[in-house]
Chain A
Amino acid sequence: MGRTLLDLLRYNRQFAAGAVLLLVVIGFACLSFFSPYAPNDAYVTAPDLPPDWTYPMGTTSRGQDLFWLLSFAIRNTLLFGLAVALFSRLLALLIGLVAGYSGGLVDRALMSLNDTFIVIPLFPILVLFYFVMRDRMSWGLLALMMACLGWAYDARLIRSVAMSLRHREFTETAIFSGMSTRQILVEEHLPYVLPIVFSTTMNNINWSIGLEVTLSVLGFTDINTPTIGVLIYWANQHTALVSGIWWWIFFPVLLVVMTFIGLFLLAVSMNEYIDPRSRLGRRAP
Chain B
Amino acid sequence: MTGPVLAVAGLRAYYRTSAFGVRREVRAVDDVSLSVEPNEIYGLAGESSSGKTTLIKTIANAFQPPLQVLAGSVVFDFAGKRFDIHSLAARELAAIRWKHLSYIMQGSMNVLNPVRRVRQSFIDFAFRHIGGPLPEFLDLARKHLQRLHLEPQILDAYPHQLSGGMRQRVTIALATVCQPQFIIADEPTTALDVVVQKGVLAMIHEVQRALGSSILFVTHDMAVHANLSDRLGIMYAGRLVEEGRTADLFRNPRHPYTAHLIASLPQLGDSAPKQGLAGAPPNLADPPEGCRFHPRCPRASDICRREVPFLQGASGHRVACFHATAESVA
Contacts and interface: CB of A to CB of B under 8 A. Distances in A.
A173 B116 CA distance: 14
Interface residues on B, range: 20 to 34
Contacts of A169: 105-108, 110-111
B158 interface: yes
Contacts of B42: none
Interface in A148-201: 168-170, 172-179, 183, 187-188, 191-192
A276 B128 contact: no
A172 B105 contact: yes
B117 to A, nearest CB: 9
B257 interface: no
B91 to A, nearest CB: 8
A179 B115 CA distance: 18
A177 B93 contact: no
Contacts of A172: 62, 105
B98 to A, nearest CB: 5
Contact of B115 (A173, A174, A183, A192): A192
A179 B129 CA distance: 10
Contact of A178 (B94, B106, B158): B94
Contacts of A188: 113, 116, 124
Contacts of B105: 169, 172-173, 176
B7 interface: no
Q: Which of B94, B98, B111, B160 has the most CB of A within 10 A?
A: B111
Contact of A177 (B114, B120, B128): B128
B124 A174 contact: yes
Contact of B60 (A168, A176, A187, A280): A176
A136 B297 CA distance: 83
A179 B111 contact: no
A187 B124 contact: yes
Given A172-B62, A192-B115, A276-B158, A178 B121 contact: no
Contacts of B145: none
A188 B105 CA distance: 17
B113 A192 contact: yes
B183 to A, nearest CB: 13
Q: Which of B110, B115, B161 has the most CB of A within 10 A?
A: B115
A50 to B, nearest CB: 54
A177 B129 contact: yes
Contacts of A191: 113, 115-116
A222 to B, nearest CB: 42
A107 interface: no
A173 B111 contact: yes
Contacts of B94: 177-178
A10 interface: no
A175 B93 contact: no
Q: Which 7 pairs from chain A and chain B are nearest by CB? A: A178-B94, A169-B110, A177-B125, A170-B113, A191-B115, A169-B111, A176-B62
Interface of B: 60, 62, 90, 93-95, 97-98, 103, 105-108, 110-116, 120-121, 124-126, 128-129, 158, 160-161
Given A169-B105, A170-B121, A172-B62, 20 more contacts: A168-B110, A169-B106, A169-B110, A170-B110, A173-B111, A174-B124, A176-B97, A177-B126, A178-B94, A178-B95, A178-B98, A179-B124, A179-B125, A183-B124, A188-B116, A188-B124, A192-B114, A192-B115, A275-B115, A276-B158
